[in-house]
Amino acid sequence: MPQLRRLTTDRLRVFFSRLKDRLWVRPLGLSVLAVGGTFVARLADGTGLAKVLPRIQLDSVESLLTIMASSMLVIATFAVGAMVAAYASASVSATPRSIPLVISDDVTQNALSAFIGAFIFSIVSLISVQNEIFGHAGLFSIFSLTLLVFVIVIVTFVRWVDRIARLGRVVNTIEKVEEAATDALDRRRHAPTLGALAGPMNPTRDLGAPVFSPTVGYVQHIDLETLQSVAEDANCRVLVTALPGTFVSARRPLLRIEGCEAFDPEAFAVAFKICPNRAFDDDPRFALVALSEIADKALSPGTNDPGTAINVIGSMVRLFTLWVSPLEKDRVAEITYDRVFVPSLEIDDLFDDAFTALARDGAGFVEVAIRLQKAFRALAETDDQAMVAAANRHSRMALARSEQAMSLQDDIEAVRRAAAFSAV
Protein backbone atom coordinates (compact mmCIF):
# COMPACT_ATOMS: atom_id res chain seq x y z
CA MET A 1 0.00 0.00 0.00
CA PRO A 2 1.58 3.36 -1.02
CA GLN A 3 2.52 5.71 1.77
CA LEU A 4 0.17 8.68 2.10
CA ARG A 5 1.74 12.12 1.93
CA ARG A 6 1.33 14.18 5.08
CA LEU A 7 -0.39 17.53 4.68
CA THR A 8 2.18 19.95 6.08
CA THR A 9 2.51 23.73 5.89
CA ASP A 10 5.67 23.41 3.82
CA ARG A 11 3.93 21.14 1.34
CA LEU A 12 1.02 23.58 1.10
CA ARG A 13 3.46 26.42 0.45
CA VAL A 14 5.00 24.57 -2.47
CA PHE A 15 1.58 23.56 -3.80
CA PHE A 16 0.24 27.11 -3.88
CA SER A 17 3.54 28.37 -5.29
CA ARG A 18 3.18 25.94 -8.21
CA LEU A 19 -0.54 26.63 -8.55
CA LYS A 20 -0.16 30.37 -9.09
CA ASP A 21 2.13 29.70 -12.06
CA ARG A 22 -0.55 27.72 -13.90
CA LEU A 23 -2.06 29.70 -16.75
CA TRP A 24 -5.59 28.43 -16.16
CA VAL A 25 -5.88 29.35 -12.47
CA ARG A 26 -6.42 33.10 -12.68
CA PRO A 27 -8.72 32.98 -15.76
CA LEU A 28 -10.83 30.38 -13.98
CA GLY A 29 -11.00 32.48 -10.82
CA LEU A 30 -12.02 35.63 -12.67
CA SER A 31 -14.57 33.70 -14.73
CA VAL A 32 -16.21 32.44 -11.55
CA LEU A 33 -16.10 35.99 -10.16
CA ALA A 34 -17.69 37.33 -13.35
CA VAL A 35 -20.57 34.86 -13.17
CA GLY A 36 -21.02 35.62 -9.48
CA GLY A 37 -21.09 39.38 -10.19
CA THR A 38 -24.02 38.91 -12.57
CA PHE A 39 -26.09 37.13 -9.97
CA VAL A 40 -25.09 39.55 -7.22
CA ALA A 41 -26.52 42.35 -9.39
CA ARG A 42 -29.83 40.48 -9.33
CA LEU A 43 -29.98 40.96 -5.55
CA ALA A 44 -30.37 44.73 -6.04
CA ASP A 45 -33.94 44.14 -7.19
CA GLY A 46 -34.84 42.88 -3.74
CA THR A 47 -33.98 46.21 -2.14
CA GLY A 48 -35.54 49.67 -2.25
CA LEU A 49 -32.86 50.99 -4.62
CA ALA A 50 -35.28 50.96 -7.58
CA LYS A 51 -36.93 54.09 -6.16
CA VAL A 52 -33.75 56.17 -6.08
CA LEU A 53 -31.65 54.80 -8.94
CA PRO A 54 -32.04 56.29 -12.44
CA ARG A 55 -33.71 54.16 -15.09
CA ILE A 56 -31.40 52.57 -17.64
CA GLN A 57 -32.65 51.69 -21.12
CA LEU A 58 -32.53 47.99 -21.87
CA ASP A 59 -31.18 48.60 -25.39
CA SER A 60 -28.16 50.54 -24.14
CA VAL A 61 -27.17 47.75 -21.73
CA GLU A 62 -27.60 45.13 -24.47
CA SER A 63 -25.49 47.18 -26.87
CA LEU A 64 -22.66 47.55 -24.34
CA LEU A 65 -22.68 43.87 -23.47
CA THR A 66 -22.80 42.84 -27.14
CA ILE A 67 -19.79 45.03 -27.96
CA MET A 68 -17.87 43.61 -25.01
CA ALA A 69 -18.73 40.01 -25.84
CA SER A 70 -17.59 40.32 -29.46
CA SER A 71 -14.40 42.29 -28.72
CA MET A 72 -13.15 40.44 -25.63
CA LEU A 73 -13.01 37.08 -27.38
CA VAL A 74 -10.90 38.59 -30.18
CA ILE A 75 -8.58 40.33 -27.71
CA ALA A 76 -8.23 37.17 -25.61
CA THR A 77 -7.31 35.18 -28.73
CA PHE A 78 -4.79 37.84 -29.71
CA ALA A 79 -3.35 37.79 -26.19
CA VAL A 80 -2.82 34.04 -26.29
CA GLY A 81 -1.08 34.32 -29.66
CA ALA A 82 1.21 37.08 -28.39
CA MET A 83 2.04 35.06 -25.28
CA VAL A 84 2.90 31.96 -27.30
CA ALA A 85 5.18 34.06 -29.52
CA ALA A 86 6.89 35.51 -26.44
CA TYR A 87 7.44 32.04 -24.97
CA ALA A 88 8.92 30.82 -28.25
CA SER A 89 11.20 33.86 -28.36
CA ALA A 90 12.42 33.23 -24.81
CA SER A 91 13.10 29.59 -25.62
CA VAL A 92 15.09 30.39 -28.77
CA SER A 93 16.96 33.54 -27.75
CA ALA A 94 17.55 32.72 -24.07
CA THR A 95 17.09 29.19 -22.70
CA PRO A 96 14.12 26.79 -22.45
CA ARG A 97 14.75 26.63 -18.69
CA SER A 98 13.48 30.22 -18.40
CA ILE A 99 10.03 29.41 -19.83
CA PRO A 100 8.35 28.80 -16.41
CA LEU A 101 9.44 32.28 -15.29
CA VAL A 102 8.15 33.91 -18.47
CA ILE A 103 4.84 32.06 -18.16
CA SER A 104 4.42 33.15 -14.54
CA ASP A 105 4.61 36.86 -15.46
CA ASP A 106 1.90 38.53 -13.35
CA VAL A 107 0.96 41.28 -15.80
CA THR A 108 0.48 38.82 -18.66
CA GLN A 109 -1.55 36.39 -16.55
CA ASN A 110 -3.70 39.21 -15.21
CA ALA A 111 -4.31 40.51 -18.73
CA LEU A 112 -5.42 37.14 -20.07
CA SER A 113 -7.59 36.61 -17.00
CA ALA A 114 -9.21 40.03 -17.37
CA PHE A 115 -10.01 39.49 -21.05
CA ILE A 116 -11.51 36.04 -20.48
CA GLY A 117 -13.36 37.16 -17.36
CA ALA A 118 -14.83 40.15 -19.21
CA PHE A 119 -15.97 37.86 -22.03
CA ILE A 120 -17.67 35.45 -19.61
CA PHE A 121 -19.28 38.34 -17.73
CA SER A 122 -20.66 39.89 -20.92
CA ILE A 123 -22.08 36.59 -22.20
CA VAL A 124 -23.77 35.67 -18.92
CA SER A 125 -25.08 39.21 -18.36
CA LEU A 126 -26.34 39.49 -21.94
CA ILE A 127 -28.29 36.25 -21.65
CA SER A 128 -29.73 37.41 -18.33
CA VAL A 129 -30.72 40.83 -19.66
CA GLN A 130 -32.35 39.44 -22.80
CA ASN A 131 -34.43 37.07 -20.68
CA GLU A 132 -35.60 39.99 -18.50
CA ILE A 133 -34.20 38.57 -15.29
CA PHE A 134 -33.37 42.02 -13.91
CA GLY A 135 -35.63 44.78 -12.72
CA HIS A 136 -34.75 48.48 -12.72
CA ALA A 137 -32.24 48.24 -9.87
CA GLY A 138 -30.65 45.07 -11.25
CA LEU A 139 -30.38 46.60 -14.70
CA PHE A 140 -28.64 49.67 -13.28
CA SER A 141 -26.28 47.36 -11.34
CA ILE A 142 -25.39 45.45 -14.51
CA PHE A 143 -24.85 48.74 -16.36
CA SER A 144 -22.51 49.95 -13.59
CA LEU A 145 -20.62 46.65 -13.51
CA THR A 146 -20.23 46.76 -17.29
CA LEU A 147 -18.68 50.23 -17.14
CA LEU A 148 -16.37 49.08 -14.33
CA VAL A 149 -15.30 46.04 -16.38
CA PHE A 150 -14.62 48.32 -19.36
CA VAL A 151 -12.33 50.50 -17.23
CA ILE A 152 -10.49 47.44 -15.86
CA VAL A 153 -10.04 46.00 -19.35
CA ILE A 154 -8.70 49.28 -20.77
CA VAL A 155 -6.20 49.77 -17.93
CA THR A 156 -5.12 46.13 -18.13
CA PHE A 157 -4.73 46.30 -21.89
CA VAL A 158 -2.51 49.39 -21.70
CA ARG A 159 -0.27 47.77 -19.08
CA TRP A 160 -0.18 44.53 -21.02
CA VAL A 161 0.84 46.20 -24.31
CA ASP A 162 3.86 47.69 -22.55
CA ARG A 163 4.78 44.33 -21.03
CA ILE A 164 4.22 42.17 -24.12
CA ALA A 165 6.60 44.42 -26.08
CA ARG A 166 9.38 43.27 -23.74
CA LEU A 167 8.18 39.80 -22.73
CA GLY A 168 10.41 37.06 -24.08
CA ARG A 169 13.26 39.41 -25.00
CA VAL A 170 16.69 38.40 -23.76
CA VAL A 171 17.15 41.37 -21.41
CA ASN A 172 13.72 40.81 -19.85
CA THR A 173 14.39 37.08 -19.48
CA ILE A 174 17.73 37.76 -17.79
CA GLU A 175 15.97 40.05 -15.32
CA LYS A 176 13.39 37.39 -14.51
CA VAL A 177 15.99 34.65 -14.01
CA GLU A 178 18.13 36.96 -11.89
CA GLU A 179 15.09 37.81 -9.78
CA ALA A 180 14.34 34.11 -9.28
CA ALA A 181 17.99 33.48 -8.39
CA THR A 182 17.96 36.39 -5.93
CA ASP A 183 14.89 35.04 -4.16
CA ALA A 184 16.25 31.48 -3.99
CA LEU A 185 19.73 32.52 -2.84
CA ASP A 186 18.35 34.97 -0.28
CA ARG A 187 16.11 32.31 1.25
CA ARG A 188 18.94 29.77 1.35
CA ARG A 189 21.53 32.09 2.89
CA HIS A 190 19.09 32.86 5.72
CA ALA A 191 18.36 29.13 6.08
CA PRO A 192 21.56 27.37 4.92
CA THR A 193 20.40 24.02 6.29
CA LEU A 194 16.67 24.63 5.74
CA GLY A 195 16.01 24.81 9.46
CA ALA A 196 17.73 21.48 10.18
CA LEU A 197 21.08 20.65 11.76
CA ALA A 198 24.21 20.99 9.63
CA GLY A 199 25.18 17.72 7.97
CA PRO A 200 28.07 16.47 5.82
CA MET A 201 27.91 17.03 2.08
CA ASN A 202 29.15 13.54 1.16
CA PRO A 203 28.62 11.13 4.06
CA THR A 204 30.54 7.86 3.94
CA ARG A 205 28.81 4.67 2.86
CA ASP A 206 28.98 3.20 6.35
CA LEU A 207 27.21 6.21 7.87
CA GLY A 208 23.64 5.00 8.37
CA ALA A 209 21.26 2.92 6.26
CA PRO A 210 20.48 4.41 2.82
CA VAL A 211 16.99 5.17 1.54
CA PHE A 212 16.85 5.18 -2.25
CA SER A 213 14.66 7.09 -4.65
CA PRO A 214 11.55 5.25 -5.92
CA THR A 215 11.71 7.17 -9.22
CA VAL A 216 14.28 8.75 -11.51
CA GLY A 217 14.35 12.52 -11.72
CA TYR A 218 15.33 15.73 -9.96
CA VAL A 219 14.59 16.53 -6.34
CA GLN A 220 12.41 19.64 -6.43
CA HIS A 221 11.46 19.93 -2.78
CA ILE A 222 12.13 18.27 0.57
CA ASP A 223 9.40 18.31 3.20
CA LEU A 224 11.52 18.51 6.34
CA GLU A 225 8.45 18.64 8.54
CA THR A 226 7.53 15.16 7.37
CA LEU A 227 11.09 13.90 7.84
CA GLN A 228 11.17 15.28 11.39
CA SER A 229 7.82 13.68 12.27
CA VAL A 230 8.74 10.27 10.84
CA ALA A 231 12.17 10.39 12.51
CA GLU A 232 10.56 11.12 15.87
CA ASP A 233 8.17 8.20 15.42
CA ALA A 234 11.07 5.87 14.54
CA ASN A 235 13.41 7.44 17.13
CA CYS A 236 16.21 7.92 14.63
CA ARG A 237 18.31 10.58 12.90
CA VAL A 238 18.06 11.50 9.22
CA LEU A 239 21.04 12.59 7.06
CA VAL A 240 19.81 14.18 3.83
CA THR A 241 22.17 13.41 0.92
CA ALA A 242 20.13 14.76 -2.03
CA LEU A 243 19.42 18.50 -1.93
CA PRO A 244 16.87 20.12 -4.26
CA GLY A 245 18.32 20.02 -7.76
CA THR A 246 20.03 16.66 -7.32
CA PHE A 247 19.44 14.05 -10.02
CA VAL A 248 18.50 10.78 -8.31
CA SER A 249 17.99 7.24 -9.54
CA ALA A 250 17.31 3.83 -8.07
CA ARG A 251 20.87 3.59 -6.69
CA ARG A 252 21.28 7.21 -5.57
CA PRO A 253 20.36 7.53 -1.88
CA LEU A 254 18.06 10.35 -0.88
CA LEU A 255 19.08 10.13 2.75
CA ARG A 256 20.65 7.88 5.38
CA ILE A 257 19.07 6.71 8.61
CA GLU A 258 21.00 6.48 11.86
CA GLY A 259 19.95 5.23 15.28
CA CYS A 260 17.45 2.51 14.37
CA GLU A 261 17.51 -0.71 12.41
CA ALA A 262 13.81 -1.21 11.64
CA PHE A 263 12.10 1.58 9.68
CA ASP A 264 9.82 2.08 6.69
CA PRO A 265 11.90 3.53 3.80
CA GLU A 266 8.79 4.69 1.95
CA ALA A 267 7.73 6.83 4.91
CA PHE A 268 10.96 8.82 4.51
CA ALA A 269 11.12 8.81 0.69
CA VAL A 270 7.64 10.33 0.43
CA ALA A 271 9.04 13.59 1.83
CA PHE A 272 10.98 14.12 -1.40
CA LYS A 273 9.19 15.59 -4.40
CA ILE A 274 10.90 14.15 -7.48
CA CYS A 275 10.00 15.41 -10.96
CA PRO A 276 11.47 15.15 -14.47
CA ASN A 277 12.64 18.79 -14.38
CA ARG A 278 14.26 21.15 -11.92
CA ALA A 279 12.42 24.11 -10.37
CA PHE A 280 13.64 27.53 -9.24
CA ASP A 281 11.92 27.83 -5.84
CA ASP A 282 14.21 25.71 -3.65
CA ASP A 283 17.11 25.25 -6.08
CA PRO A 284 19.40 28.32 -6.29
CA ARG A 285 21.92 26.42 -8.39
CA PHE A 286 19.32 25.91 -11.12
CA ALA A 287 18.86 29.66 -11.51
CA LEU A 288 22.62 30.08 -11.86
CA VAL A 289 22.67 27.34 -14.49
CA ALA A 290 19.85 29.05 -16.40
CA LEU A 291 21.73 32.36 -16.41
CA SER A 292 24.87 30.60 -17.56
CA GLU A 293 22.95 28.95 -20.40
CA ILE A 294 21.64 32.32 -21.58
CA ALA A 295 25.20 33.65 -21.77
CA ASP A 296 26.43 30.44 -23.37
CA LYS A 297 23.81 30.61 -26.12
CA ALA A 298 24.67 34.25 -26.78
CA LEU A 299 28.29 33.22 -27.38
CA SER A 300 27.38 30.55 -29.95
CA PRO A 301 28.53 31.24 -33.54
CA GLY A 302 24.93 31.48 -34.73
CA THR A 303 24.13 34.26 -32.24
CA ASN A 304 27.50 35.97 -31.65
CA ASP A 305 26.22 38.36 -28.96
CA PRO A 306 28.98 38.90 -26.37
CA GLY A 307 27.06 41.85 -24.92
CA THR A 308 24.44 39.51 -23.50
CA ALA A 309 27.17 37.39 -21.91
CA ILE A 310 28.62 40.53 -20.33
CA ASN A 311 25.17 41.40 -18.94
CA VAL A 312 24.92 37.93 -17.41
CA ILE A 313 28.36 38.33 -15.80
CA GLY A 314 27.07 41.47 -14.12
CA SER A 315 24.07 39.51 -12.83
CA MET A 316 26.41 36.85 -11.44
CA VAL A 317 28.45 39.44 -9.54
CA ARG A 318 25.29 40.90 -7.99
CA LEU A 319 24.07 37.44 -6.95
CA PHE A 320 27.34 36.37 -5.33
CA THR A 321 27.65 39.73 -3.62
CA LEU A 322 24.20 39.10 -2.16
CA TRP A 323 25.32 35.62 -1.04
CA VAL A 324 28.04 37.04 1.23
CA SER A 325 26.21 40.19 2.33
CA PRO A 326 25.28 40.56 6.04
CA LEU A 327 22.27 38.56 7.17
CA GLU A 328 19.08 40.12 8.50
CA LYS A 329 18.90 38.74 12.02
CA ASP A 330 15.13 38.64 12.15
CA ARG A 331 15.06 36.43 9.02
CA VAL A 332 17.67 33.86 10.05
CA ALA A 333 15.96 30.47 10.31
CA GLU A 334 16.03 28.75 13.67
CA ILE A 335 16.88 25.08 14.05
CA THR A 336 13.41 23.54 13.96
CA TYR A 337 14.19 20.00 12.85
CA ASP A 338 16.63 18.57 15.39
CA ARG A 339 16.50 15.03 14.04
CA VAL A 340 17.35 16.00 10.46
CA PHE A 341 20.81 16.88 9.12
CA VAL A 342 21.06 18.86 5.87
CA PRO A 343 24.29 19.94 4.13
CA SER A 344 24.82 23.56 3.17
CA LEU A 345 25.47 24.73 -0.36
CA GLU A 346 29.15 24.82 -1.26
CA ILE A 347 30.48 28.03 -2.82
CA ASP A 348 32.65 25.96 -5.19
CA ASP A 349 29.53 24.28 -6.59
CA LEU A 350 27.82 27.65 -7.06
CA PHE A 351 30.85 29.00 -8.93
CA ASP A 352 31.03 25.90 -11.12
CA ASP A 353 27.38 26.29 -12.08
CA ALA A 354 27.74 30.00 -12.79
CA PHE A 355 31.08 30.36 -14.54
CA THR A 356 32.39 27.10 -16.01
CA ALA A 357 30.44 27.20 -19.27
CA LEU A 358 30.88 30.96 -19.56
CA ALA A 359 34.65 30.74 -19.21
CA ARG A 360 34.87 27.82 -21.63
CA ASP A 361 32.82 29.29 -24.49
CA GLY A 362 33.80 32.91 -23.88
CA ALA A 363 37.53 32.19 -23.78
CA GLY A 364 38.04 33.42 -27.34
CA PHE A 365 36.14 36.71 -26.86
CA VAL A 366 38.58 39.23 -25.41
CA GLU A 367 35.81 41.55 -24.15
CA VAL A 368 34.05 38.69 -22.39
CA ALA A 369 37.27 37.26 -20.96
CA ILE A 370 38.30 40.65 -19.56
CA ARG A 371 34.88 41.29 -18.04
CA LEU A 372 34.91 37.80 -16.52
CA GLN A 373 38.30 38.43 -14.93
CA LYS A 374 37.07 41.75 -13.55
CA ALA A 375 34.12 39.91 -12.06
CA PHE A 376 36.44 37.42 -10.37
CA ARG A 377 38.55 40.28 -9.10
CA ALA A 378 35.49 41.97 -7.58
CA LEU A 379 34.41 38.74 -5.88
CA ALA A 380 37.97 38.06 -4.67
CA GLU A 381 37.91 41.38 -2.82
CA THR A 382 35.15 40.23 -0.45
CA ASP A 383 35.80 39.20 3.14
CA ASP A 384 34.55 35.66 2.58
CA GLN A 385 37.61 33.42 2.32
CA ALA A 386 35.77 30.57 0.60
CA MET A 387 34.57 32.95 -2.12
CA VAL A 388 38.06 34.44 -2.48
CA ALA A 389 39.50 30.97 -3.04
CA ALA A 390 36.77 30.05 -5.53
CA ALA A 391 37.19 33.33 -7.44
CA ASN A 392 40.96 32.87 -7.71
CA ARG A 393 40.57 29.25 -8.83
CA HIS A 394 38.12 30.14 -11.58
CA SER A 395 40.23 33.13 -12.57
CA ARG A 396 43.20 30.83 -13.19
CA MET A 397 41.10 28.37 -15.17
CA ALA A 398 39.50 31.13 -17.26
CA LEU A 399 42.91 32.64 -18.03
CA ALA A 400 44.28 29.24 -19.06
CA ARG A 401 41.35 28.75 -21.43
CA SER A 402 41.82 32.22 -22.93
CA GLU A 403 45.53 31.62 -23.45
CA GLN A 404 44.70 28.55 -25.50
CA ALA A 405 41.78 30.09 -27.41
CA MET A 406 43.31 33.48 -28.34
CA SER A 407 45.91 33.89 -31.04
CA LEU A 408 46.85 37.55 -30.52
CA GLN A 409 49.39 38.08 -27.77
CA ASP A 410 48.09 41.59 -26.96
CA ASP A 411 44.64 40.13 -26.17
CA ILE A 412 46.20 37.53 -23.89
CA GLU A 413 48.18 40.20 -22.06
CA ALA A 414 45.02 42.29 -21.59
CA VAL A 415 43.25 39.33 -20.01
CA ARG A 416 46.27 38.61 -17.80
CA ARG A 417 46.30 42.20 -16.51
CA ALA A 418 42.62 41.90 -15.59
CA ALA A 419 43.06 38.56 -13.81
CA ALA A 420 41.92 38.30 -10.19
CA PHE A 421 45.21 36.69 -9.12
CA SER A 422 48.79 37.61 -9.94
CA ALA A 423 49.22 36.11 -13.41
CA VAL A 424 52.73 37.40 -14.03
Q: Which residues contact 161 (CB under 8 A, 6 or more apart)?
A: none
Residue 347 amino acid letter: I
Provide the pLDDT for residue 46: 66
Percent of the chain at pLDDT exceeding 70: 90
Q: Per-residue pLDDT tens for 256-275?
A: 998 887 788 888 999 999 99
C-alpha pair distances (Å), 347 with each of 199, 335, 352, 353, 385: 16, 22, 9, 10, 10
Provide the pLDDT for residue 2: 43
Closest CA to 41 of 153, 151, 145: 145
217 strand-pairing partners: 248
Q: How far apart, in whole angstroms, are the C-alpha atoms of residue 103 and residue 98?
A: 9
Provide the pLDDT for residue 379: 94
Query: What 3-state DSSP class applies to 95?
Result: coil
Instruction: Return contacts of 45-48, CB within 8 angstroms, 24+ apart.
Output: 45/134, 45/135, 45/136, 45/137, 45/138, 47/137
Encode burial over 84-108: b for 16+ CB neighbours within 10 A, e otherwise: eebbebbbebbbebbbbbbbbbeeb
Encode burial over 299-317: b for 16+ CB neighbours within 10 A, e otherwise: beeeeebbebbbbbbebbb
Provide the pLDDT for residue 9: 62
Straight-line distance from the first to the last Cα atom of the chain, in angstroms, rounded to the nearest whole number: 66
Provide the pLDDT for residue 107: 80
Q: How far apart, in whole angstroms, are the C-alpha atoms of residue 259 and residue 241?
A: 17
Q: Please, what are the averages of pLDDT over each run of 10 residues along the chain (424 residues)?
A: 51 64 73 78 68 73 86 83 78 80 79 85 85 79 86 86 78 91 93 90 72 92 90 91 91 88 85 91 92 92 89 96 92 90 93 94 94 94 92 95 93 89 49
Q: Which residues contact 126 (CB under 8 A, 6 or more apart)?
A: 62, 65, 66, 69
Provide the pLDDT for residue 126: 86
Provide the pLDDT for residue 15: 66
Provide the pLDDT for residue 424: 38
pTM, two decimals, is: 0.81
DSSP characters for 8-31?
-HHHHHHHHHHHTT-TTHHHHHHH
Q: How far apart, in whole angstroms, are the C-alpha atoms of residue 61 and residue 380?
A: 68
Q: How far apart, in whole angstroms, are the C-alpha atoms of residue 69 and residue 411?
A: 63
